Amino acid sequence: MKRFAGWTLASPAMFVVVLFLVLPVLATLWTTLTTPDGPLATYLAFFGSGFRRTVLWRTIQVSLATTAISLVIGFLTAYVISRAPGWLKSILIIAAVFPLLTGVVVRSFAWLIILGRNGILNNFLIGTGLTDEPFAMLYTQGAVITAMVYLFVPLMILTLAGVLESIPDELLQASASLGATPRATFLQVTLPLAVPGLIVGAVLVFTGSFTSYATPQLLGGESVMMMGTLMYQQAMVTFDWVSASTIAAVMVVITIAIVLVMTRLARRLNPMAV
């Protein structure tokens, strides 16, 4: 009875997930497999295009770079937060969460003001005499990665702060009492116990970066086109829904593959982590 009661309680949520998530994804995949040219024609056309392969590879590069940088910054920040006193910890968490209260478009526009030719950074560099001419920082891969890191680091911090805070101080003290150096304690105690948070944070940042549209469009433009921008262009500009569905299907498959790889990596690093 308890088993059936659990399924009964979960059935409304499962129905909503199936209706609004699973069925649309399956419908998208079905659209790409039922073309007159054959079930794999759209995928062969996608991977046969040098331009689309370049966009896909660029998107993976940007997403991986964003994830790696966010991991480092987020872990260090979360570690400081987890070791701070109670009153200071609350202030630091609020400061980390505060950027999430502003929309993605607004935060991306802020980087337009910072990185523009007449923006804050260029004016600072010229004013201090470090350069005579403004640098072209917008519409570059670096600008997109910088803005992406700014967007997703708060998620990484929130994910890791709770995990690091839950590590008992007694474990760290025991490690030190047994003669372990701070570096050894970090590598053999803190880092393995933080693996679940690292994996969850990495998945959140990678999937968010990989599927992002607004930030690449505003800061990358046509010169740094990514998969989300390309999909929008195919669907809303050229009205090629089959191509847009193919791009969406490729993004779904790659996202699932990356999540599986990260989960497997977590098990290898710490079999008890996941």
HSE at residue 238, side-chain half, CA atoms within 13 A, is 11
| pLDDT in single tens digits along all 274 residues of the chain | 556 666 777 788 888 888 888 888 888 888 888 888 888 889 999 999 899 999 999 999 999 999 999 999 999 999 899 888 878 888 988 888 888 888 888 888 889 889 888 888 888 888 888 888 888 888 899 999 999 999 999 999 988 988 888 888 788 788 888 888 878 888 888 888 888 888 889 999 999 999 999 899 989 888 889 999 999 999 888 888 889 999 999 998 998 898 888 878 777 766 444 4
Whether 38 maps to a domain, the answer reads: no
Whether 122 maps to a domain, the answer reads: yes
Whether 33 maps to a domain, the answer reads: no
Q: Which CATH number covers residue 190?
A: 1.10.3720.10
- What local confidence, expressed as pLDDT, does residue 4 receive? 66
Domain count for the chain: 1
Own/partner pairs, 238-242, CB within 8 angstroms, 24+ separation: 241/31, 242/31, 242/32, 242/35, 242/42
Cβ partners under 8 Å of residue 145, min gap 6: 62, 65, 66, 69
**Hey, what are 197's tokens?**
């948070």
Whether 114 maps to a domain, the answer reads: yes
Whether 5 maps to a domain, the answer reads: no
Whether 60 maps to a domain, the answer reads: yes
What distance in Å separates the CA atoms of residue 64 and residue 70, rounded to the nearest whole number?
A: 10
Nearest C-alpha neighbor of 82 from the set 163, 190, 165, 192: 165
User: SS3 for 50?
Assistant: helix
What distance in Å separates the CA atoms of residue 187 and residue 201, rounded to the nearest whole number?
A: 19
User: SS3 for 138?
Assistant: coil
The answer to whether the predicted template modeling score (pTM) of the entire model surpasses 0.75 is: yes
Whether 71 maps to a domain, the answer reads: yes
CA dist list (Å): 127 to 124, 136, 138, 225: 5, 17, 19, 32
CA dist list (Å): 197 to 115, 191, 262: 32, 10, 12
What distance in Å separates the CA atoms of residue 42 and residue 26, rounded to the nearest whole number?
A: 16
Burial (0-12, 13-18, 19+ Cβ within 10 Å), 176? middle
For Cα atoms 161, 148, 204, give the angle at the middle one, nearest 5 degrees.
50
Whether 235 maps to a domain, the answer reads: yes
Range of the domain at 236: 47-269
What distance in Å separates the CA atoms of residue 274 and residue 269, rounded to the nearest whole number?
A: 10
Nearest C-alpha neighbor of 195 from the set 164, 173, 170: 164
